[in-house]
Amino acid sequence: MSAPKAPAKPAILSVDDDPGVSRAVVRDLRKRYGEKYRIIRAESGDQALETLREMKLRGDAVAVIVADYRMPGLSGIEFLEQAMDLYPVARRVLLTAYADTDAAIDAINVVDLDHYLLKPWDPPEEKLYPVIDALLDAWASSSHHPAEETKVIGHRWSERSSDVREFLARNQLAYRWYMSDEPEGQRLLSAAGTDELRLPVVIAPNGDVLVEPTDAELADKLGLSTTLSEDFYDLVVIGGGPAGLGAALYGASEGLRTVLIERRATGGQAGQSSRIENYLGFPDGVSGAQLADRARRQATKFGAEVITARDVTGLEINGSARTVRFDDGSSVDAHSVILATGVSYRQLSAPGLDTYTGRGVYYGSAVTEAARCSEQDVYIVGGANSAGQAAVYLSRGARSVTILIRGNSLEASMSYYLIQQIEKNPKITVRTCTEVVGAEGDDHLERITLRNRATGEEDTVDAQWLFIFIGAAPLTDWLGDVVVRDGNGFVLAGPDLPSEGVTPDGWPLDRAPHHLETSVPGVFVAGDVHAESAKRVASAVGEGAMAVMFVHRYLAQQ
C-alpha cells in the first residue's frame, strides 16, 4: 500500500504583468521562503484567479498574495477584491510605483489591504522580507481555523445568531454562514440531526455539532484559550481592549507573569472599528480587528496568557493577594490587578427598539453586518468617532447612510478628519437635532419614527438597519464596593480619589496612591473605564503601559 500523499506546502502568489518585475519578485521570494512555501507566479489577474480557483478545489493553502497595481484587464485592486472571496485569510500586498501611492491607500479601504510596497524594493532584506515575515506570522496564527470547515446555521433575524457571528469574527475565527430557511442550511441541519427550533447551530471543524452554544462553548471547541495555566500571577489584566492589551504586552515583556482575561474578544470597542486613521504609526489607517490581532500576537510573543470567554464576577482582597473570581465559581490570585474593562454602548430607550435588537437594531456591529446591508438604506445613531467610522465603512455597499444626532453638528464629538470624509461622501446624510422615538416591524425592524427636537415634528421612515453608537457605560457593576467609583460607575484613581473616606477603613498605606492606583493598593485602572479618560485608542494604550510602571513600583514597595 502506497504512503499517503503529503499535503502541498502553502503558497505565496505573485501577480505582475511585467515579466522582468515578475521574475525579480519571484526570485527574491524563492530565495527567502522557497524551502517552506511554494512560490507561484502569474502574469495577469485573470490567470492568477484561475490558479487560485484550481488551488481552492485541491484544498491548497495560500498564505500571501502580492499583486501589482497597474495591470491590463483586472487591476491589482480588482484582482485582490475577487481573490478575497476565494482565500479570505490570505494576506494581501499591493506592489505600487510612487505615483500610485494614493491608489494604494484607497485599496486599504476597498480590500482591507495588509501592506503596500513601493518599487523598487531593493534591498529585499530591508524593504521586502520584514513585511512578508510579519504577514506570514499573521497568516500562520489565523490559518488554523479554516473557513470551509466551520459552519454557522441560523436565522437571518435572530439576535443570538448575530451574536455568534460577531463573536467568531472578532476572535479571528473564520466561518461560513448559512441561513436556516435556505436549501443548504436545511441540508446541514438535517445532517446535524437538529431542526430550526433551536438556532443557531455551529458545526465545528471536527464535525462536532453545537446547538445554541454559549460563547465559552464556542471558544473551547474552536481553539481559544479558556483555562488559566497557573493559580497565581504577578499581574492579572481584566479586559482585552487597547488598554488591557497594552498592559499585558508591557507586563509580560518586563518579566511579570501576566494573564489577560477577556469576556468576549480582544480589541474592545476599538476592535469593532472598520478603520482607525488617527492612531500613531499607521498613516494609512488600520482596522480595529487588525490592530487587536497584532497587539494580541505581540503580547503572547512575550509570554502573556490571553484567556477568552471568561466572565469576571468579583474582586476580593485577601492579605497581600488580589483574588479575581469567575462566574463558574473558580478564581485566580495575583500580586496586582489592572482594571481595563472598558465601556459598552448605552442602550437607546425608545418604544419597540428592545424588541428588534439583533433583528435590525445593532449596537456596534457594523463590520459584522455590513455585507447584509448591500444596496439598502442604513441609519446610524451617534455623533462620535465610532459612528463616523461606521458610516464611512457602510457607505461602500449601502444605498444610503443617514447619521442621526441630537445636537446641532458633529463638531463637538467627532474628529475633524472624519467630518471631512462624511461631508465629501454623497451617500452619507447627517440629520441634526433628531432622535429615534419608535420602531415597528413584524419579525424584524421595518420602520423607525424620528422626531425633530427643535420643532417637535415626527416622521416615519422605512428602515431595516439601525446601528447605535451612543454614550459609554462602564462595565464595573461587578466591582461592588471594593473600589471607589464616581456617580456614573467609572473608576477613580490617584489624584481623583477623595481626600477622605477613600474606603470605610481609609487608605491603608503611608504613601499616597500612585497615579493610576485605585482605592485598593495594588489594583490599578487603565483606559476608558478610568474616570475622565480621553476615550481614544492611543491614550488607552498609554495608560495600560503606564499602569504596568506603577505595578512595578507597588511590587518593589512590598
Q: How far is 208 from 220, CA to CA, in rounded Å?
A: 12
The residues of the chain scoring below 50 in pLDDT are 1-5, 143-148
Total residue count of the chain as it appears in this document? 558
- The DSSP element (H or E) to which 218 belongs, if any, is helix 215-221
Q: Can you give the three-state secondary structure of 41-68, one letter per residue?
A: EECCHHHHHHHHHHHHHHCCCEEEEEEE
Q: Do domains 232-344+473-556 and 354-468 have the same CATH topology?
A: yes
- The answer to whether the beta carbons of residues 404 and 350 sit under 8 Å apart is no
At residue 57, the pLDDT reads: 66
Q: How far is 405 from 453, CA to CA, in rounded Å?
A: 10
Residues 6 or more apart from 188 whose CB is under 8 A from it? 151, 153, 178, 201, 203
**Separation in Å, CA 312 to CA 121, 219, 260, 323, 474:** 48, 16, 11, 11, 14
- The answer to whether the beta carbons of residues 376 and 405 sit under 8 Å apart is no
* Class at the top of the CATH hierarchy for domain 11-142: alpha beta
Q: Give the CATH architecture of domain 151-214.
A: 3-Layer(aba) Sandwich (3.40)
Cell digits for 282?
499607521
Nearest C-alpha neighbor of 545 from the set 290, 311, 295, 275: 295
Question: What value does the mean pLDDT of the chain take?
Answer: 89
- The answer to whether the beta carbons of residues 12 and 40 sit under 8 Å apart is yes
Cell digits for 414?
467627532
Q: How far is 394 from 373, CA to CA, in rounded Å?
A: 8
Nearest C-alpha neighbor of 384 from the set 398, 358, 364: 364
At residue 108, the pLDDT reads: 60
* Cis preceding-peptide flag for 200 (omega within 30 of 0): yes
Q: How far is 387 from 268, CA to CA, in rounded Å?
A: 15
Domain residue extents for the chain = 11-142, 151-214, 232-344+473-556, 354-468
CATH number belonging to domain 232-344+473-556:
3.50.50.60
At residue 410, the pLDDT reads: 95
- The answer to whether the beta carbons of residues 267 and 289 sit under 8 Å apart is yes
Q: What is the DSSP string of 436-481?
A: EEEEEESSSEEEEEEEETTT--EEEEE-SEEEE----EES-GGGTT
Q: Which residue has the cell 474582586?
A: 315
**Other beta carbons less than 10 A from residue 184's beta carbon:** 12
Q: Which homologous superfamily is 354-468 in? A: FAD/NAD(P)-binding domain (3.50.50.60)
Q: How far is 94 from 145, CA to CA, in rounded Å?
A: 25
- The DSSP element (H or E) to which 44 belongs, if any, is none
At residue 145, the pLDDT reads: 42
- The answer to whether the beta carbons of residues 551 and 235 sit under 8 Å apart is yes
Nearest C-alpha neighbor of 147 from the set 230, 57, 75, 86: 86
- The answer to whether the beta carbons of residues 387 and 406 sit under 8 Å apart is no
- The answer to whether the beta carbons of residues 279 and 257 sit under 8 Å apart is no
| Residue 164 C-beta-side C-alpha neighbours within 13 Å | 29
Residues 26, 28, 32: CA angle, nearest 5 degrees:
110
Global pTM value: 0.75
